[in-house]
Every structure is written in C-alpha cells, then in structure tokens.
Structure 1
Amino acid sequence: MPTVLVTGPSAAAREAAIAHAIEDPSTPRSDGVAVILEGLSDGNPVLQDSEKLLISRIAPGCLCCAGNLVMRVTLNRLLRQRPARLFIGVAASAHLDQLRSWLSSAPYDQLLALTPDLHS
C-alpha cells in the first residue's frame, strides 16, 4: 500500500496538503484512503470521515517514541480496513527517519510501500 509521510507547520496545514493530494487529478483514484493525523483539529477539519476516507487522529507526541503504542494500534486498526493508500501526518520531523525505519520493519515492510514525503 502506498504510504506518504506528511510534514508541516500545523495540523491544519498537513490536513490541507493531504486533502489536496487526495483530490489531485494526476494521482490515481483508489477505492479507499486512510489518514492518520498527529495533532488535534483546529475545529475546522478539512477532511471528513466517509465510506472511502478513514481518518484517525492521534494526540501530539513523537509517533516513534512516546506515541509508538498508540501509533501501532491505530495503524493496525486502519490496515484491517484494507485501504488502497495511507497518509500519515507527522507533527515534528525530528524523528522522521526513525518513523520511516519503523514503518519499513516487520510486519509493516510487507504491507506498506513508503513513497516520497509530502511537505505542506
């Protein structure tokens, strides 16, 4: 499953970048998209859950360190839905390489294909 790590200055910026990528006509349409957003919405979410769009929000914190268990549970729950693409909005890029390494390790190495990052 193509997986994109999305970075940016705010949750709203990351969410807008993901929405733009989903709607981009040059991007192949897929049956379903899953989104994990680190950080809470500002009250005006751009993305809305639907039959074809699964959205999970995780409280801010390092997804590869303190938030590892929450991230793992959230990711596993979304993968059971078998989306065609996955976007992960990351609040801080300090440990992006560690997160990428974790997502490239078993069992996720058999399920996810990391694509170039998206910067909002």
Structure 2
Amino acid sequence: MAPAATSTTLVTGASAGVREAAIAALLAASADRSAVFTPGDGALPPSVSALDAVILEGFGVAADPLENGPGLHVTRIAPGCLCCDGNLVLRVTLNRLLRQRPRRLFIGLASSEHLDQLRSWLQSPPYDQLLALDPVVSA
C-alpha cells in the first residue's frame, strides 16, 4: 500500500516575515487539531508521521517564528524563482524532505509570479503521487 500523499500548501506574501507568520499560524492550528487521536475525528493516529516540513525561499527575518525542532523541519533556499532558477535546488530539497514522509509541507514563496507553473510542476510525476496540493494561502 502506497503512503498517503503529503498535504502541501504554497504560501505567498509581501515579505518573509508575513509568510513565516502565516505558516506558523497554520502549524499551530494543525497542532491543536491533532493533539488527541480519536478514530474518525480527523486527527492523526500515532502511527502516522507527526513531522511537518517547511521550505522557505529567501533569508530569515530577525524574529523568525519558525525554527527546527521536534516535529518540525525548516529548510531555507536562496531567493530566486523556484520555478526557473531554483528548480534544481527545490527538487533536491523536496526529494530529501519527502524521504522523511512529513504529514504536512509548507512552501513559502517570495514571489507569486510563476505560481501556476510551480503548481503544475508539483502536480507532475513523480510529485503527483507524493503531494496533495491544498489551496494557495496568500498572507
């Protein structure tokens, strides 16, 4: 049986701080819902990975709300279009993260200019079997 696809959310916003705060809020809301497992309530059973992963395009902010820790893996990619210039770096980073089978993945984008191309790329093989794209969050 194939593993469940990783829920993936692309997050756009005017600045790194805004994007990271939005992702932190989504992570907090997700943690609140999965704190207790009751069959049928949508929470994760103990056998499912509790790892959340975040890929951030660009440099951090002074008061960075996202830090690596138990249950959270944060990776930064140098700024540049993830669809064009950063495609190889994104592909390598994404492949490494997906080996850990995170339950959720957030990708913070510095620019939404090529958002449609990036979504199309993430919906193509092999990622179409590995990722379940959620609606884009505009922070």
Which bracket does the TM-score occupy, shorter chain normalised? Answer: over 0.9
Partner of 1:104: 123
Residue aligned with 1:4, SS: strand
1:72 aligns with 2:77: no
Q: What is the match of residue 50 of structure 1?
A: 69
- Identity rate of aligned residues, in percent? 60
Q: Deviation at 1:32?
A: 1.4
Query: How large is the Cα RMSD of the aligned pairs?
Result: 1.5
Identify the residue that residue 109 of structure 2 maps to in structure 1.
90
Inter-partner Cα distance in structure 2 for 1:111 and 1:25 = 20
**1:55 aligns to what SS in structure 2?**
strand
Return closer, same or farther for 1:69/1:26 CA change in 2, 3 Å cut-off: closer
Helix, strand or coil: the match of 1:24? helix
Stretch deviating more after TM superposition (6-15 or 38-47): 38-47
> Runs of 5+ in structure 2 lacking a partner?
1-5, 35-43, 45-49
- CA shift at 1:4, angstroms? 0.2
TM-score, normalization by structure 2: 0.82
Out of 7, 10, 13, the position equivalent to 1:5 is 10
Q: Hey, which bits of structure 1, 4+ residues long, moved more than 3 A? A: 25-28
Distance in 2 between residues matched to 1:49 and 1:12, nearest whole Å: 17
Quick one: which of 81, 89, 92 aligns to 1:62?
A: 81
Paired residue type of 1:18: I
Aligned length: 120
Query: Larger radius of gyration, structure 1 or 2?
Result: 2
User: Post-superposition shift, 1:107?
Assistant: 0.4
Tell me which moved more, 19-28 or 45-54.
19-28
